[in-house]
Amino acid sequence: MIQSCSGPTVARRFLSDRRREPVREWLKDLPKDERRIIGEDIMTVQFRLPLGMPLVDHLGSGIWEIRSRLATRIARTLFFVHEGEIILLHGFIKKTRKTPNEDRALALRRKNAYVKNA
C-alpha cells in the first residue's frame, strides 16, 4: 500500500516530456468510454491515497500502477508520488500477464528525468 502521501487529496500531474504529455496524448487516442474509466480510476487514486490492490500495485523503484478494467481489455497507468503529487509517467493497454519490462523501464527513465529536473 502507498504510504508516502497524507491528507485527503493528492494533486495529479501529467509528466511533461519536451513539451509533450505522453499520458494525456495516450488517453486522447482512446475511445471516450475507456478514457472515462481510466480517468475515474486516476481520480480515485488522487482522492483516496493510500490505496492497494486491486486498483493500485507497486512495481518497484517507487513506481506504482493504476489497474483499470475496460470493457474488453485492461489498461495500466504508471505513476510515482513526488512532493505530494501523483506524477503520471506512462499509460498502455496490457497485452501480457505481467507488466512488460519495456514499459517499466520507460516509466523509470521518465521518473528519473523528472526528479533530476525538479
Cα(75)–Cα(113) distance, integer angstroms: 24
Q: Which domains does the chain have, with CATH numbers?
A: 11-117 (3.30.2310.20)
Across the strands, what pairs with 30?
none
pLDDT at 83: 87
- Mean pLDDT calculated for residue range 24-47: 94
pLDDT 10s digits, 60-91: 999 999 999 999 999 999 999 988 889 999 99
pLDDT at 19: 66
